[in-house]
Amino acid sequence: MAILNTQTSFVSWILTPEEEAQGSVFSLTQKQLIQNRIAVLAEEKLALTYDPNEPMKFLQTEAELQGQIGILKYLLTMSQDVEAMSGNAEITSNDSNSF
């Protein structure tokens, strides 16, 4: 069972390896939602136009979008890696939305 970690300034949990694996695997619908969000962010990034009067605004917006895309891709990759390591049999046995 997860235990609240009170040794940090931020909310975090001490998880068993099994809990960490279960929490890392997304359902098909969750993966689709994350991929849709990546697509929207990528379109926004492609649509950015550089304004020589506000160069920092462009750079900050581009960096923010890239960061959002990066974390979402990281989460999808983490899910795929855990599924591949486990064969997806045990981790998602209690998840009716898994494929």
Q: What pairs with residue 14 in β-bridges?
A: 3
Q: Residue 99's closest CA among 38, 32, 35, 39?
A: 32
Q: What is the mean pLDDT of the segment spanning 46-62?
A: 97
Domain ranges of the chain: 24-99
What's the pLDDT tens digit per position in 63-76?
Answer: 999 999 999 999 99
Other Cβ atoms within 10 Å of 17 Cβ, number = 7
Q: Which amino acid is at 81?
A: D
What's the pLDDT tens digit per position in 9-22?
Answer: 999 999 999 999 99
Tell me how far apart the alpha carbons of residues 75 and 2 are, in angstroms, rounded to a whole number: 20
pLDDT at 88 over 80: no
The percentage of residues in the chain with a pLDDT greater than 90, rounded to a whole number, is 84
pLDDT at 44 over 80: yes
Q: Residue 95's closest CA among 25, 4, 38, 14?
A: 25
